[in-house]
């Protein structure tokens, strides 16, 4: 996959992104380990900062990759949402990352703002999906796959959005919002996979 780079190929872009992300994250981890030993000279700090920026940028692209990949298939429910899926999975990944950091004890205001943004996007995605009358989207609205997808969308969109906006000063509200987002994101992924199987049938 790395012999050529094809911008129009999701597999090619994904492979190059994964390699760039893993190498940058590895370089940053190695540089941070060296800095902790007290050998923190300027060149190591420069490498650590550059690697951190590259891993953040490529990680952002990588978070959308699942949506890009499943959207580039012949499965009707996935291919009909090819432009929506990367945004959906990217917002879901961002919301989950923010939530895990908050559940680990981080309380920065910026994390709550990122969580609000991710939940707002997830809410918008849910509204768009519900408003479309395409019969190919029936597995997202009916049966077991529809129930799981809708519950996941509710727990990763409107519920944490309301908790984060109304209870932004409450640590408890933010923790509940974070837990809801993690569970909702997991259910969303399960629901999309189940909807894909139903769509093929």
Q: Which CA distances in Å does 157 have to 47, 127, 144, 173?
A: 37, 10, 20, 15
Structure tokens of 130?
């519900």
- Give the separation between CA 137 and CA 68, rounded to whole angstroms: 17
Q: What is the pLDDT of residues 3-44, one digit of tens each?
A: 888 877 878 888 889 999 999 999 999 988 888 877 667 788
Q: How many residues are present in the chain?
A: 201
In this predicted structure, the answer to whether residue 153 has a pLDDT above a threshold of 80 is yes
Predicted local distance difference test score (pLDDT) of residue 143: 92
Percent of the chain at pLDDT exceeding 90: 65
Predicted local distance difference test score (pLDDT) of residue 103: 95
Predicted local distance difference test score (pLDDT) of residue 2: 79
Structure tokens of 88?
């959906």
In this predicted structure, the answer to whether residue 1 has a pLDDT above a threshold of 90 is no
Predicted local distance difference test score (pLDDT) of residue 44: 83
Q: Quick check: 136 and 126 in contact, CB under 8 A?
A: no
Predicted local distance difference test score (pLDDT) of residue 39: 63
Q: Which CA distances in Å does 3 have to 6, 12, 16, 163?
A: 10, 9, 10, 48
Percent of the chain at pLDDT exceeding 70: 99
Predicted local distance difference test score (pLDDT) of residue 40: 62
Q: What is the mean pLDDT of the chain?
A: 90
Query: Pick from 102, 118, 120, 122: which is nearest to 173 by CA?
Result: 102
Q: Phi and psi for 169 in degrees, rounded to 5?
A: -95, -5
Q: What is the pLDDT of residues 87-144, one digit of tens each?
A: 999 999 999 999 999 999 998 999 999 999 999 999 999 999 999 988 889 999 999 9
Predicted local distance difference test score (pLDDT) of residue 148: 96
- Give the separation between CA 115 and CA 43, rounded to whole angstroms: 34
């Amino acid at each position: 996959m790395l012999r050529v780079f094809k911008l129009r190929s999701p597999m090619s872009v994904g492979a190059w992104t994964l390699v760039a992300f893993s190498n940058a994250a590895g370089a940053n981890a190695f540089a941070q380990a060296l800095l902790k030993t007290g050998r923190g000279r300027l060149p190591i700090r420069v490498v650590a900062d550059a690697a951190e920026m590259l891993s953040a940028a490529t990680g952002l692209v990588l978070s959308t990759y699942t949506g890009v990949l499943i959207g580039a298939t012949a499965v009707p429910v996935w291919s009909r949402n090819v432009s929506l899926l990367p945004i959906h999975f990217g917002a879901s990944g961002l919301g989950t990352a923010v939530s895990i950091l908050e559940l680990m004890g981080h309380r920065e205001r910026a994390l709550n703002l990122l969580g609000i943004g991710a939940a707002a996007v997830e809410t918008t995605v849910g509204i768009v999906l519900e408003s479309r009358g395409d019969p190919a989207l029936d597995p997202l609205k009916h049966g077991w796959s529809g129930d799981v997808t809708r519950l996941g969308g509710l727990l990763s969109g409107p519920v944490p959005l309301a908790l984060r906006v109304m209870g932004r000063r409450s640590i408890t509200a933010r923790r509940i919002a974070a837990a809801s987002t993690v569970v909702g994101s997991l259910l969303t992924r399960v629901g999309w996979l189940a909807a894909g199987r139903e769509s093929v049938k």
